[in-house]
Amino acid sequence: MSVLSPAAAVSPAFDIRALTKVYQTDGGAVHALRGVDLQILEGETLVLLGPSGSGKSTLLNILGGLDRGTSGSARFHEFELTAASDRQLTEYRRASVGFIFQFFNLVPSLTARENVALITEVAHDPMSPEEALAQVGLAARMDHFPAQLSGGEQQRVAVARAIAKRPELLFCDEPTGSLDSESGVQVLQAITEVTRAAGATTMIVSHNSSIGEIADRVVRFRDGRIAGVARNPRKRAPSELSW
Amino acid sequence: MRPSPLDRKVLRDLWRMKWQALAIALLIACGVSVATMSFSAQRALAGAQARFYAETRFADAFAALTRAPLSIARELAAIDGVTAVDVRISESGLMDVPGLVRPATVRLISLPDDPSRALDRVRLAAGRMPDPGRTDEVVGLQSFLDAAQVRLGEKLTAVIRGRAATFIVVGAALSPEFVYVPAPESLMPDDAHQAVLWAPRPAVERAAGMTGAFDTAAVRIAPGASPKAVLQALDRILAPYGGRAAYLRSDQPSHRFLDAELKELSTSASILPPVFLLVAAALVHMVVSRLVETEREQIGLLKAFGYSDAAAASPYLRFALVVGLTGAVGGGLAGASLGAAIVDLYRQYFRFPMLEVRFHWSAFAAASAIAVAAAVAGSLLAVRRAVALSPAVAMQPPRPAAYCEGLLDRMVRGGGVDQATRMIVRQLERYPIRALLAAAGLAASLALLIGTQFLFDSIEAIIDQSYYRSQRWTEAVALQDPRDIAAVTDLARLPGVIAAEPTRIVSARFVNGAHEERTRIVGLAPAAVLDRPLDASDRPIPFEGDGIVLSEALAGRLGVRAGDSVFVEISDGRGPDALAHVTALARDYSGFSAYMERRALNRLMGEGDLVNGAQLLVRPDRRAAFYRAVERTPQIAGASSRDETVAAWRQAMTEAFRVTITFYVGFAGAIAFGVAYNVTRISLSERSRDLATLHVLGFGHWACAYILAGELVLLAIAAAPLGVVGGQLLAQGLVAAYSRDELRLPAEISLRSYGVALGAYLAAVGLGGVLVVRRVWGLDLVAVLKTRE
């Protein structure tokens, strides 16, 4: 069994074939993805590792519906992402995707509870903001504004915001990049606990190779290509990590 | 020389923020252009006036009388303080002008025997002066010849004192007495019906039967002499000859109107520019504040590298300087062309030999200096705070903006408000000063729109009150001399006349203590229906015995109230002096009126039941026949028509105000647009990250646009009541500024005006908002999310 095409018993969430992404810049064409083939299973946790500019974030952006591929195909079940309209992508993000960003991206004028409510108000079958915040351990800080929270707490609000709508997909772009080790571990713990409960397919982009140890599979990128995919024989809990 | 990095930063900032910078520069340009335009136009008018008056030796005082021998002129010249005297014959009559239905009123004036010593000389504009040896040649007032389309060489027949006289027009002339020619009834120009002809003395003597006599006098007064003493001496000497009260140049109709126009220009130069410059300064402050906020770290970095506070602040000050200078230059250019446009308009009303607009450099320089200072002051306030921080503090990334629940927030908490609306409300609460400044700017714009639209309503209200409710005649005629009441029977028999009411009108001087005013008393039939004074509630005022009804304006000028008595000097003929009891005050909007019951007025005059005019109701389809008959009736000296008067009013006022109002609407729109654009643009710069995040999280473009536009919508709504109140105040202010003795504008604002003003306001705000909000559709999601704010 190849690591690129997992067992047929579990259906793939994503089917990615020969996906490329070329940016036209003043200095000429930049090939961010040079032909990526990958299948991602439902409920799987993937960590994408690689140096800056290797293409991992580009892939995450395309799969998250923030950007479109130049050629090739990226399919979420029957939904072809590279051919979708802006409106379809917006609907896709709203219905299926939870995002966690490096810089938290909380709305500073809303409290923790309201930041989560922002999403639950437009979602199809969300949990309550209180429940989501309780899951990330912030039940006591719900009425604080972002400016009144630490970096780790802000990122956990972002996790609660991402999972409150019970997404099928959770995309995390450098979720611990702005945090110290201890806060980073807390955030990863929150992510793994809530995704395990919800069964969401999770992709985490990181520079930090030790984060790869919490994944089912680790995908390494170099120069816009997949340089290797490795299955973790034993997934570690975030509490076992340090960096 | 290579520009320094800081220079380049200023240039790039300007380029990046060019639309914001231009929107502010536009406001500054408005302020500078109004000042430049007004002062340039004022100087053009005042200069033309001064040159023309000097060239033609315009008199300082004037007197009219019935008839005096020419020898009396020597007595006038001997008055202490009089340096020159000019006596003339000036006779009025009617004249049929080909192409006009209603006959024109004509004034036939004698030319001086020795033009070099004359006052109020005419200046030839075309053709030639009449041959002194002939009695059938005249020069005509150019404005009349132009409006009535009378060509040189054409013959005109005037009926003067019941005698027809035919003249050949050999020249077109300008006169300092007739720079502006108000029609006697409306005070509006009616050039085609206001003929003035000048002929050599023998010709006028013959036409008027005034050989060896004169009936008007003009004098120049030595600098330093007492004008009041001169007037008293004139009155004393001319009294035996039917002298009517002498008056100064300030009461001369043409001069008076011109002077009022000059004052108006000063008013608009002093009211409007400060509004624009204040709003512009507030906008510079907002924009630079935001710029400084986003560049706090850069300022800290510069200071860490050893730049002084002043050097670190200089890019922002220079930014403001460039915006201010751009606005000033644009304002100067616009002011020059607006000045030329308004002087062009003046050429239609004011007849000068030369009316040239010259750019008022000092007004431009002063307005520009103030504008630039305002812009720099706005930015200085914003920069000061950032420069005061220590480099270490400035370089630290700012914590997320600290928000808290505010008063508004607590008000909406219970009501199921969605998070997007909450974001809007909190943004306003987070920057209250900015919200206040923006709301004040929007309110100023709406106030300007409402406060100027009302001018049209005002004119309509005046026309309605004067010509349809108070005066209800369609035509009025004036008789050459007072006649017995029986004369009205003849007038009633003229073709098309349905009803006729006699009038007796006499000139009078009212005195109450130190206050005095010259006007006329209108004597009406006891139960007149074609002309009746109305009170403040529009009810007709009945006459009580020998009492007099004064207009509110006249009473105000004299300082008398209903129930008081006022001293009346009749200045027609041998009119007596008397103390009259004021029984009521009438509300009207033009001139200074006084009314009495006709027989009471005649009793006061010590005469029988005489009339010198009539007000008539004439069938519209018989007007032409009516006027043909009027021309053949020798005792009629003047005729006016309501419809033509009203049309002249509408045309003159609409034309005059259209230019002004176009300026105001344009300027008010510029304010609303500038504020809306900048407020939304700043909001976008603060929010683009939030909005991109929301869009990533599944919010549609419209939902994001709602958050961005919501702030502007709330501000525009909050500013609206303020703008309405401000508009009402402005209307009252303009009423005070623009009202003249001859025209008092009522501060009435119609629903239609509110509608038009609100429509224009919303359009300008909407445009400013939409130009920014559409950028929501182009937000770069990936870039925004990858960078820390």
DSSP for B139-184?
A: EEEHHHHHHHTPPTT-EEEEEETTEEEEEEEEEEEE-GGGSS-B-T
Q: Does B693 touch chain A (CB under 8 A)?
A: yes
Give the integer Cα–Cα distance in Å for B446 and B716.
10
In a domain, A26, yes or no: no
How many beta-carbon pairs below 8 A join chains A and B?
A: 93
Give the integer Cα–Cα distance in Å for B585 and B589.
13
Q: Does A122 touch chain B (CB under 8 A)?
A: yes
Residue B766: is its pLDDT beyond 80? yes
* Average pLDDT of the segment spanning A74-83: 93
* Residue of B578, B585, B584, B616 whose CA lies nearest to B600: B578
Query: pLDDT value at position B72?
Result: 93
Q: Does A114 touch chain B (CB under 8 A)?
A: yes
Label residue B682 by pLDDT band (50, 70, 90): confident
Residue B412: is its pLDDT beyond 70? no
Residue A3: is its pLDDT beyond 50? no
Query: pLDDT value at position B393?
Result: 66
CA distance B774 to chain A (A): 15
Q: Does B399 touch chain A (CB under 8 A)?
A: yes
In a domain, A94, yes or no: yes
Beta carbons of A127 and A202 less than 8 angstroms apart: no
Report the residue from A90, A146, A173 with minimal CB separation from B400: A146
> Is A176 or B398 the better-scoring residue by pLDDT?
A176
Query: pLDDT value at position A6?
Result: 47
SS3 for B81? coil
CA nearest to B780 within chain A: A66
Yes or no, beta carbons of B693 and A101 under 8 Å apart: yes
Residue B635: is its pLDDT beyond 90? no
Label residue B294 by pLDDT band (50, 70, 90): confident
Cβ neighbours, 10 Å, residue B311: 15
Q: Does A239 touch chain B (CB under 8 A)?
A: no
In a domain, A181, yes or no: yes
Give the integer Cα–Cα distance in Å for B463 and B467.
6
CA distance B279 to chain A (A): 28
Yes or no, beta carbons of B698 and A110 under 8 Å apart: no
Interstrand relation of A169-173 and A201-206 (parallel, antiparallel or unpaired): parallel
Give residue-wise pLDDT tens across range B667-677: 888 889 988 99
Residue A136: is its pLDDT beyond 60? yes
Residue numbers of the domain that contains A51 = 43-68+85-240
Report the residue from A64, A86, A145 with minimal CB separation from B403: A145
Q: What share of chain A is helix, strand, coil (3-state, %, to 5)?
A: 35, 30, 35
CA distance B385 to chain A (A): 21
pTM: 0.75
> Is B253 or A16 the better-scoring residue by pLDDT?
A16
CA distance A20 to chain B (A): 17
Q: Concatenated DSSP letters for B635-704?
A: TEEEEEEHHHHHHHHHHHHHHHHHHHHHHHHHHHHHHHHHHHHHHHHHHHHHHHHHHHHHHHTT--HHHH
* Residue of B328, B354, B275, B261 whose CA lies nearest to B659: B261
Yes or no, beta carbons of B399 and A147 under 8 Å apart: yes
Label residue B226 by pLDDT band (50, 70, 90): very high
Residue B498: is its pLDDT beyond 70? yes
Beta carbons of A38 and A14 less than 8 angstroms apart: yes
A-interface mutation test, from B417, B425, B689, B693, most A Cβ less than 10 A away: B693
Label residue B282 by pLDDT band (50, 70, 90): confident
Query: pLDDT value at position A8?
Result: 46
- Encoding tokens for residue B263? 């004052």
Yes or no, beta carbons of A110 and B789 under 8 Å apart: no
CA nearest to B700 within chain A: A90
Residues on chain B touching A106 (C-beta within 8 angstroms): 400
Average pLDDT for chain B:
86
In a domain, A62, yes or no: yes
In a domain, A231, yes or no: yes
Half-sphere exposure of residue A191: CA atoms within 13 angstroms, side-chain side? 34
Residues on chain A touching B780 (C-beta within 8 angstroms): none
CA B664 vs. chain centroid, Å, equals 12
Report the residue from A66, A147, A154 with minimal CB separation from B782: A66
Yes or no, beta carbons of B698 and A95 under 8 Å apart: yes
Q: Which residue's entry shows tokens 């705070």?
A: B385
* pLDDT cut 90: percent of chain B above it: 35
Yes or no, beta carbons of B700 and A93 under 8 Å apart: no
Report the residue from B418, B427, B699 with minimal CB separation from A109: B427
Q: What CATH number did the domain enclosing A179 receive? A: 3.40.50.300
ipTM (interface pTM): 0.75
CA distance B720 to chain A (A): 26
Give the integer Cα–Cα distance in Å for B610 and B504.
7
Give the integer Cα–Cα distance in Å for B218 and B120.
8
Say how many domains are in chain A. 1
Label residue B2 by pLDDT band (50, 70, 90): low
Yes or no, beta carbons of B403 and A147 under 8 Å apart: yes
Residues on chain A touching B404 (C-beta within 8 angstroms): 145
In a domain, A35, yes or no: no
In a domain, A78, yes or no: no
Query: pLDDT value at position B574?
Result: 61
Beta carbons of A203 and A209 less than 8 angstroms apart: no
* Average pLDDT of the segment spanning B352-375: 88
Give residue-wise pLDDT tens across range B455-475: 788 888 888 888 888 889 999
Residue B789: is its pLDDT beyond 60? no
* Average pLDDT of the segment spanning B674-689: 88
Residues on chain B touching A114 (C-beta within 8 angstroms): 419, 422
Judged by average pLDDT, the poorest of B595-599, B690-694, B741-745 is B741-745
Label residue A196 by pLDDT band (50, 70, 90): confident
- Encoding tokens for residue B148? 């009535």
Give residue-wise pLDDT tens across range A140-192: 999 998 889 998 999 999 999 998 988 999 999 899 988 888 889 989 998 99
In a domain, A21, yes or no: no
Residue length of chain B? 789
Give the integer Cα–Cα distance in Å for B150 and B173.
13
Beta carbons of B335 and B36 less than 8 angstroms apart: yes
Highest mean pLDDT of the ranges B310-324, B349-363, B537-551: B537-551
